[in-house]
Structure 1
Amino acid sequence: MKLKIKMQLSFMMFLEFFIWGGWFVTLGTFLDKNLSANGGEIGMAFSTQSWGAIIAPFIIGLIADRYFNAERILGVLHLLGAVLMYQMYTAVDFESFYPYVLGYMILYMPTLALVNSISFNQMKNPAKEFSFIRVFGTIGWIIAGLIISYVFLWDSEASREAGMLKNTFLMVSIASLLLGLFSFTLPKTPPVVAKDEKVSIGSILGLDALKLLKDRNFLIFFISSILICIPLAFYYQNANPFLSEIGVDNPTGKMTIGQGSEVLFMLLLPFFFKRFGFKKTLIAGMLAWTVRYLLFAYGNEGDLAFMLILGIALHGICYDFFFVSGQIYTDSKAGEKYKSAAQGLITLATYGVGMLIGFWIAGKVSDIYLVSPGVHDWENIWIFPAVFAFGVMILFTIFFKNVEVEYKE
């Protein structure tokens, strides 16, 4: 790959995840403090990610793969996203905010697949080349959090009270406009499917891979993947509001420790696969969710602040050891025939169905343990996903038989 193209793809990936990390992390805090949204409404806002994940395959399968170059669709989606993000910036209540965030996530989620397609189309050896490009996405997410916390201080208590957190949407709107325009300069990525080629809804959604569920082991893994997304939703929806409410300084910046951890444990994953095997690696990932939430439940902003930092740092184990390992396992079970369909099915089940349920439950639990306006019983809120994740781990440990999975670097 030429250096120019490598730099283009890296900048594209940086902006793609700068945009996501620049508003999604602080969304719960913004809705609570600035729009006076309740837990159920915050859950609705976060669940737009799931609706976007459910609708995204149709945009990719019926439009992007058949009619237009991927880089052009990427540009159009981000230009439209910039407009919707600006509307979110100007919203004054949840009722006016929700339609814009729903529309935005329906447009944004397909771009995650598009940036991958554009990157893979330029690579001769994606297994070796993609990780270098993708890591700039994680860097973008981290930089967004650091800017919010340490440059503009938008998540400080004084700034939150002054309504400054809404500026994250303006920042992301500008970044989305920049990526939208920049996308038209990216290498050409033409459609991969002929216009007249028939395509079924089942193949778009990955339903062709449902045959894999006849395998008892894969069925247990599939169900566990959906269930573990319920405690995952608690982290995305509640972590930033929790840290902000209890008085942790620079909460958004501190949460970027999780992304750094994600990179570290991604590199360590091959070692754990070879040393402990697939089943134990997944169990470690699920156990990490339980430990993380217990640390959140009993830590505080004072002498036990290290427990909160450790809980954030566990993100690499929580995410990589279960979800990345799960993608590898799915790839090994599917074979060439159902490879793409199986990955699509898992994505639909987890980021679509699993997290849709998870965000709804997280919102309900947050409302149950609302002590007074702006004050929650966080210990009980975090105990719920801790116990739930532990239960999923026990079921997986009992019913999933150990298998050998080859990790291909």
Structure 2
Amino acid sequence: MTFAITRRQIVQTAAASMVAGGLPQLHAQEVARRFEPRPEGWRKFEITTTVQLRGERGDATIWLPVPSLDTPWQRTSDSNWSGTASTINTASDGRTGAKVLVAKYAASAADPTLVLTSVVETQNRAVDWGAKAPAADPSDLREWLQPSELIPTDGIVKKVATQVVLGARSDREKAQRIYDWVIVSTYREPKVRGCGTGDIKAMLESGNMSGKCADINALFVGLCRASGVPARDIYGIRLVPSAFGYRELGGNPASLKGAQHCRAEVYLQGTGWVAMDPADVTKVMRQETPEWIKDAGHPVVAPVRKALFGSWESNWMGYNCASDVKLPGAKQARLGFFMYPQAETAAGAKDPYDPDTFVYQITAREIRA
């Protein structure tokens, strides 16, 4: 299937850009929302992941993502672990530094168990468009222009990117066009398992533009890279409810089942790395209200659409920005991304998208001074 940008899509994208500066007049039954993350100091969370392979016998291995970001908006204070494993150690992805907790269990181990507890500090993030950022390492930026298995930068991805950014005069304008185009051209599909697969070539070739965060934000990243703008996904999890009252933009700290969420960043010349999350805009459109909102200028959507081009809220934690991950000692193929617990037993790999069969629980607790 050949993918082409239609006149309707161009008009929709232009309309989405026009609402960035303000909200349309509200109907009587609509309530204006506020979504304005601004740095307000650090918050501290204790995140605990518990895995138990119930009823399993034989050799087994469990892998858990360990928070490994040290940025102006997130830092890890401590990580510790316990369990019934014969060996437990950490490894790092050589390319991105993503940390992996690896626990191996002997055949004699009954109900292999692993507990990982991390203390992570986060804060709201918002770009200062007027500030001048120091120059980044060119070799690092080249890294985030490279394709991955699920995020190619040639073929149909390059073709669509060229159409979307045609005439753009700066990296920021390219990113804005891609962000708006992704929002009006994709949609959230709640029935997709987990966070999706992130196969953007398949999305564009099939014309099926539905998915979840790993699909929609990967498309944003791929189009940016294909346009010469460094970009990356950051894979993580929502920890607590949103301070702005958006139900779909928060997590239940007592049970973070299904709270995994990836975000994106782009590097803009003179500004530095900038937060992005078009996937959460589509989530608000599809799931925040009982009715599917199909207008990016709707008063429930517009504050989120505007804010998530440059900011995000501190109720989310990133694990890593790794792709094409080969888990140490795993028999399974490389992972497109790593933000879910993984395990292999004598029967094969466990399904990380089914935390009821592959029994794991993730909880969070905010530590207040």
TM band (smaller chain): under 0.3
Higher strand share: 2
TM-score between both structures, scaled by the size of structure 1? 0.24
Higher helix share: 1
